[in-house]
Structure 1
Amino acid sequence: MLKSFFILWLVSFSLILSGCAGVPSSSARSQMGNLLLAEPLPASARSQMTIVRYNQILAQAPLQAQERAELLYQRGMLYDSVGLSGLAQYDYNQALKLKPDMAEAYNSIGIHFTQQQEFIQAYEAFDSSLEIDPEFEFAFLNRGIALYYGGRPELAVQDLGAFLERNENDPYRALWAFIAEYELSPEQATRHLREASTRLDPRNWATLLVELYLDDISESELLGALAIGVTNQRQLTDRLCEAYFYLGKYHAARGHRGRASNYFKLALSTNVYEYVEHRYARLELNMLREDVYKENQAQQ
């Protein structure tokens, strides 16, 4: 079915380390034994060459403050896309010093604060972004995610609900709204997701993820459908990054820490650095480890 690239299949679950979060059951090994693996994305040569050009312009060209700020922001985005998060965050900070009304830069730096679990700084960054541009919808997404990870699900539901309202056909928006609301009421969250599912675009493959969360399809059925409609290796890797993350969240909510941990590691292995799912997979792993540590401390 996939003619343009080679598909790797996982033969044995023993090839995936379960880490400290627990050992999967025999059913988990069987389920993940048919797992489609991603080919990690290489660092983009085009992005690297563009970074070089930006370096030259920033070092040599006479630029106005606004022009320099825009270039710094664009270079930061490129650094983020190749996994150089420290350099990206530095550029966003420098851009904001030159142009304090750059909503996009506040949004980007807020994401970094969320990944670092510096939630107060993240909230302030997203608030600034929305003060500058109240219609900047991705600030609602990212502030909602920060509130969710920061232990404020009531506020997260508001932001993620507002994000969903701006495009009710998008399954990713429906999933994030569900994930936040699940912390408050699993039953109500499931009911709202069921209602939202009727408005989703069936042509978007991620609608299958919603069906999984609603138990309309099995995990095996989802895994078997991941390559349908894929036409190239990049598209497959992008899709698998997303699928691994949401499968990790699916299992984490059910207390399957070993399986959740493995899926988050697989999301990280794709190297799709700019995706929300890749950005927060490591945070999910850290939180799983913290939960295990707290439980072990409580038992001692």
Structure 2
Amino acid sequence: MKWFRILGLGLVVAVTGCASNSSKDDLQWLNPPMAVPLQANVQYEVQVARLTQLLQRSDLENDVRAKMHFERGSYYNSLGLRDLAQLDFNQSLQLNPAQSVVFNQVGQYFTQIGDFDSAYEAFDSSLELDAANSYALRNRSIALYYGDRFPLAIEGMTSYYNEAPSDPYRALWLYIISREVGPMDAGIALEKRYQSANNEWGWILVALMLDKVTEEQAFKAVLASSRDNNVLAERLTEVYFYLAKRHQIDGDYPAAVSLYKLAIAQNVYDYAEHKYAFLELTKIFEIARAQQVEKEKQKLAEEAKLQSDSAE
């Protein structure tokens, strides 16, 4: 089944339906399932305004002001305003540098913009302040993965996975990272972990990655279990991201690009899958650009050879 066709890597997207050959009952998904994209949370906007007003006071202790900057930055993050969030996180750390949680947020920001050295430094600071900060351990491992430092990424993600082996998301990320150095072993390991799956929602994402369920079945499960639009948006973000990753692994970059864009389109700013979809798109564009440059070099070399042969 093909969900998407794209005219080259120029990324002119034509979303197609998905149809089965078997019967009329199987004809489904003429368009990709979508939630109403999440809108700015009014309560978060009110909290931003309130904190902005409070921060204008001159009688605040540094610890209190640092906490307020962190809180406002967190709200900015949830509203998709990551640069404003980063400004607040930096302000918070200047006032109180002993904040593991804030360094973790800063590290995620640097990962998103591709400044991996700064990301590693931020995550290291987070873990030095609180060695039990699992989120910092996970996010550092993901940063190492995107920075192509695979052995260190695997080591960190393995530690993170071992803290909660029944967590499907930990199993997924360990697989995604581990397959960079051993695709077959990573697949076998994920298969074994899937055998002990529980009823947690995320295991259907593992099943999708392993091709244990079809795309239709995965989306049926999403729609059947998501009566609230927020939940629907969150689960579609996850499904589109990991389905895109599977297509990317298979070398189907056009389909992966379409699916990453759909993951982003749900506007679930807090989710790692939303944040890292941008990085994945960047990687694909870089591959496409490198391939184009290589083709142009080959074309020029062939033309030069033809001219040389004709001159002889």
Residue 243 of structure 1 is matched in structure 2 by: 239
Is 2:176 the counterpart of 1:179?
Answer: yes
Residue 116 of structure 2 is matched in structure 1 by: 119
Structure 1 unmatched runs, 5+ = 1-11
> C-alpha offsets along residues 63-93 of structure 1, whole Å, 9 cap, x if unaligned?
1111111111111010010011110001111
The structure that has the greater radius of gyration is: 2
Is 2:191 the counterpart of 1:194?
Answer: yes
Residue 8 of structure 1 is matched in structure 2 by: none
The one of 177, 183, 208 aligned to 2:204: 208
Matches within 5 A, 1:137-286: 137-202=134-199, 204-286=200-282
Shift of 1:261: 0.3
The one of 283, 290, 299 aligned to 1:287: 283
Shift of 1:33: 3.5
| Aligned equivalents of 1:285, 1:18: Cα separation in 2 | 15
Is 2:7 the counterpart of 1:20?
Answer: no
Deviates more, 1:224-233 or 1:142-151: 224-233
Residue 92 of structure 1 is matched in structure 2 by: 89
Deviates more, 1:168-177 or 1:218-227: 218-227
Structure 2 unmatched runs, 5+ = 21-27, 297-312
> C-alpha offsets along residues 84-125 of structure 1, whole Å, 9 cap, x if unaligned?
111000111111111111001110010010011100000000
Shift of 1:17: 8.3
Question: AA paired with 2:252?
Answer: H
Where does structure 1 differ by over 6 angstroms across 4 or more consecutive aligned residues? Answer: 22-32
TM-score normalised by L of structure 1: 0.89
| Aligned equivalents of 1:158, 1:38: Cα separation in 2 | 36
Residue 135 of structure 1 is matched in structure 2 by: 132
Supply the RMSD in Å over aligned alpha carbons: 2.3
TM-score normalised by L of structure 2: 0.86
Deviates more, 1:155-164 or 1:171-180: 155-164
- When residues 99 and 115 of structure 1 are mapped into structure 2, their CA distance, relative to the original with a 3 A threshold, is same
Question: AA paired with 1:160?
Answer: M
- When residues 50 and 184 of structure 1 are mapped into structure 2, their CA distance, relative to the original with a 3 A threshold, is same
Identity value in percent = 38
| Aligned equivalents of 2:237, 2:137: Cα separation in 1 | 22
| Aligned equivalents of 1:81, 1:18: Cα separation in 2 | 34
How many positions carry a matched residue from both structures? 287
Task: Determine which structure has greater relative contact order: mean sequence separation of CA pairs < 8 Å that are 6+ residues apart, divided by chain length.
Answer: 1
